[in-house]
Structure 1
Amino acid sequence: MKKQDFIFWLGFILLFLPFFVSQTVFDFYIDFNKEHGMITSFIKFAILATIGEIIGLRIRTGNYIQKGFGILPRAIVWGFLGLTIKLSFIVFSTGTPVFLSYLGLESATEAMKQSFTLNKLLVAFCISTFMNLIYAPVMMTFHKITDTHIINNGGTLVGFLRPINFTEIFVNLNWNVQWNFVFKKTIPFFWIPAHTITFLLPPDYQVLFAAVLGIVLGVLLAIASLKSVK
């Protein structure tokens, strides 16, 4: 293990260790999350999903830090996306059981209040499927646009605050990778199964688990980036 890897993973462990060794810290997190869910969503995604991108940078370049990468702008974007992800969780976890009940699965709403059952698994799968087919492509495309904007402006906070040229960036995205890998492969084969697990968890842990998956997203983005240069 290289020195930079040791330092990075030591910092990673120290960041989360208090939540595992201190019941007081863990209880504070649970209470704060219940009272300020949107704030914690912003913080969790700003930290965890950005860590995922830093790991992705390590995979692509061999370094955790690179000039022009823009860690702070990326964290701001992920914090904002965390707010939309929390919103989508509420919308789809509430609306999907109602829709399934409308279709005739009358126990759909009650199933999510129970311990693990086949009905609950089916409803969780449907929530994940609807969310990832309707919301995820928009979020992923928006993230790619902001990612490109950050790189085009040298990764600086001042550059990030400049107006985003959505039309130009959108037209010039690598849609071969975006469609054939990000959409067609990661959504059905990773995100739908992963978020099915997410919606089987208690509500207090769902966004946290989704934010942890943001680390995996960083790796997937790194793979997509490597594909785009082939």
Structure 2
Amino acid sequence: MTATPTQHKEEPVPVALVTGASRGLGRALAHGLADLGWSLVVDARGADDLRSAVRDLPAGQVVALPGDVTDPPHRRDLVAAAAALGGLDLLVNNASALGPSPLPSVAEVPPAALRALWETNVVAPVALVQEALPLLVPPAAVVSVTSDAAVGAWPGWGPYGATKAALDHLTAVLAAERPDLRCWSLDPGDLRTRMHQDAFPGEDISDRPVPESVVPAFVRLLDERPPSGRLRAADLLPAVAR
């Protein structure tokens, strides 16, 4: 009797959508997920910067779509690209704006700038979640990149911090409404990024960790899948990395 070869079913490749992936944390996270074998949909407003950011990633593993997350057709295109890759296992709302630099006080922030911040940092990520929810089949996860400015009161950080506090709360409510998903707000801490430099114009921020240093925290989050909630990357990193 001839033995029948055992059929091994290949595991599907997980798919992540990461916004704001042309630089900083978004770029580092996209590369970290690609190294783990994930397929990716990534975006950023700058087409050239986005193209440069994904140039070294495996061909066929990443779909890079330049555009603005505040644009509804762009959000639809992002979700459609994820669907074409087979679904969506992880949505990372990383794209955000700082607002005017130097940081203005609450008394001085222009209302138009405040409205623009809310559109980018709150309305757009929530709208992207809404667009993506049909693809987010359990045990899929949503990560809202937040900030300590959402819970601390420091001069100049009111407008930005208020948007992050709002996104934190909306993410927590989403978790209550969709207990079948994981919904995390993750604070990466101060990092050596262009946005952080814009918050401190003319100052030396070279003492801040590089964005790649917190990627292991994201990986641990995905591996261990703690309950939904607000987390700090520093608490997910080994003591030597803090």
Which of the pair is proportionally richer in helix? Answer: 1
| TM-score normalised according to structure 1 size | 0.29
Tell me which protein shows more strand as a share of its residues.
2
The structure, 1 or 2, with the larger RCO (C-alpha pairs under 8 Å, 6+ apart) is 1
With structure 2 as the length reference, what TM-score do the two structures score? 0.28
